[in-house]
Chain A
Amino acid sequence: MIQIFDVVKMYDGSNPVLDNVSMEIAKGEFVFLTGPSGAGKTTVLKILFGWERFEKGQVLVHGINVGKLTHRNIYTLRRSMGVVFQDYKLLPNKTVFENVSFAQEVIGRDRKTIRFKTWEALKNVGLSPKKDIYPAYLSGGEQQRIAIARAMVNEPSIILADEPTGNLDPDISIEIFRLFEEMNKKGATIIFATHSQDIVRLGNHRVINLNRGKVVAS
C-alpha cells in the first residue's frame, strides 16, 4: 500500500514541483502516472524510493514513513522496490548477466542464489541467449529488458517505472509494457509513469493524471 498525503516539493524554494499531491495506490494495483513533461511524474517516483526529500506532507510505503528514513536505513525501503528508468541505467562494463547479478550482490545474496535468480529473470524477459553480451551491443528494447530483469530479480513488491518506453519504438514499447503487466499478475504493485496515451490505452488500469505539480484526475 502506498499513501501520499499533501506532498509539496520545491527545487528553488518558490515554485512547487509538487503542490499538495495526494494519492493512494493499493497493494497489487497497476497504476499509470501520466502527464506532460515537467508535470512532476519523475519527482513522485523519486520521492517514493527516497531519492528526493520533500518540504511538506507525508509518504507511507507499506506503512513506513519515507520522510523519517535516513540515509543509513533508506536501503530497507529501496530493497522492497524495483526501479526502471527511461535511460536504463545499466553498467556498461558489465555483461547482461553481471548487470542483473549486481542488484543481488548489492543486497548480499549468496552466489548460488544469485546465479539461479539471474537465470530465471533473464529467461522471463527473453534474454538468456545474450547473457554474456555487453549492453552497448544490444538494442534499446533489449537494454530496457535487462533493466526490467534487474528490477524484478529481487522480487520486489513494488515496481516503479519512469517512462520505460520513452526511448523505444511502438512495437517494442508494447512488448515492454506486457512484461510489466506480467509482473503485476504475479502480485507486484506497478506505478508506470508515461506521457504516452498509446501506452495508457493498451491496458485497463487506473490513471493518475498530473499537471504542473497537481493531481488533476484519478
Chain B
Amino acid sequence: MIHMQTLISGFKTTLSNILNNKQTFFLSVATITISIFILGLFLMLFVNLNGFLSKWNRQVQLMAYLNDDITKSQREALVDIISKSPNVESYLEVSREEAWAEFQSNMSENLKPLLDLDFNPLPASYKIKFHDVENRLVFIRELSEILKTKKGIESVEYGEEWISRFEKFMVFSKVFLFAMGGLLCFGLTLIVSNTIRLSIYSRQDEIELMLLIGATPRFVKIPFLLEGMFQGFVGSVLALFLVGGVHYYLKNEFQSSLDSMAIKFNFISEPFLIGLVGLSVFVGLMASYISTFQFLRMLNKK
C-alpha cells in the first residue's frame, strides 16, 4: 500500500515538475487534447449513426407478398407459421384492394393520371411486426428464409440489402474507430513518455540523490506517474469540452432538419465520456511508467 505521506510528497513534486517544465507540459497536454478531440468527434459520429441504425432497425417490418392464386389452405399454413414465429408482435393481412387504395392515396395528385389502370397490379400481403428485442434482424431474416420456401408466397422483403450495407458500414466504422484510437494512443504514449523523460532529466541529480539516500523506486516513480496521469486527464477534459462545443454548434445548425426525420443528434454518452478520460489517463500513466522504468533501468545497469 502506498504511504499517505509518499503520495502527498509525490503530489508536491508533480506540481513542482509541472511548474519547472511548463512549456513541455502544455505542449504535451495540447497534443493529448487534439488527439482525444479527433477521437471524440469520430466517437460522437459513430454513436449517432449507431443510434440511427437502431432506430431504423426498430422500424423494420417484414412484408410477405402473396401469389394472386394462393389457396385458402396455403394462407392458413402461412398464418400458422407467422403466428408461431418467435418475437412476432403482430401481423396484418393487406388485401390487393387495400394495397391499391393505400398506394393511390400516397400518390401525388399530379401522378395519379399515370396510374389510371383498369386492373390492380399489387399483390395481397402480410405486414409482420416484430418485438423490439436484441438480434431482431436475425429473427426477421429467419422468418423471411422460411416464408420464401412456402407455397403461395410471391416474394419477401424487409430492405435486406440496405440494412446489410448499413451494417457493413457500421462494422467498418467500428474497426476504423478502434484502429484510429489505437494509433492515436500509440502516438500519445510516445509523446507523453518523451515529455516525462524531459521532466526526469531536468531532475536527474535529485533522483540520483533520492536513490543514494535510500528512496524506494516507487517513491521516485510516483511523481512522474502522477504527472503523466494529470496530463492525460487535463488533455482529455479539454478535448471533451471542444467536442461539446462542436456538438452544440452542429445541433443548433442541423437539428431542425433532423427533426423532420425524428432523429436526435446526441452528445457522447456518459460511459463513453468516462471511457475516453480513462483511456487518456491510462495512456499518460503507461507513458510515464515507460520513461521512469527506462531511466531507473539505465541507472541500475551501472
On A, residues with C-beta under 8 Å from B are 49, 51-53, 71-72, 75-76, 78-79, 83, 89, 91, 102-103, 105-108, 110-111, 150, 154
Known: A51-B302, A52-B302, A91-B206. A107 touches B212 (CB 8 A): no
Min CB distance B202 to A, Å, is 11
Contacts of B206 in A (CB 8 A): 91
Q: What CA separation (Å) do A83 and B215 show in the bound complex?
A: 14
Pair A107/B215 contact, Cβ less than 8 Å: yes
Q: Are B214 and A106 in contact (CB under 8 A)?
A: yes
A72 and B302 contacting across the interface, CB-CB below 8 Å: no
Counting chain B residues whose Cβ lies within 8 A of the other chain, the interface size class is 20 to 34
Closest to B216 in A: A75
Query: How many Å from the CB of B164 to the closest CB on chain A?
Result: 56
Which of chain B's residues 273-302 have a Cβ closer than 8 Å to chain A? 296-297, 299-300, 302
Contact between A83 and B212, CB atoms less than 8 A apart: yes
A-B contact pairs, 26 of them (CB 8 A): A51-B212, A52-B302, A71-B217, A71-B296, A71-B300, A72-B217, A75-B215, A75-B216, A76-B214, A78-B212, A78-B214, A79-B214, A83-B213, A89-B212, A91-B205, A91-B209, A106-B210, A106-B213, A106-B215, A106-B219, A107-B214, A107-B215, A108-B3, A108-B6, A108-B219, A154-B214
Residue in B5, B209, B211, B214 whose CB lies within 8 Å of A110: B5
The answer to whether the Cβ of B9 comes within 8 Å of any Cβ in the partner chain is yes
Chain B residue at smallest Cβ distance from A49? B212
Known: A52-B302, A71-B297, A91-B205. 17 other contacts (CB 8 A): A49-B212, A51-B302, A53-B302, A71-B296, A72-B217, A75-B211, A75-B216, A79-B214, A89-B205, A89-B212, A103-B213, A106-B215, A107-B213, A108-B5, A108-B6, A108-B219, A154-B214
Output the least CB separation between A164 and chain B (Å).
15
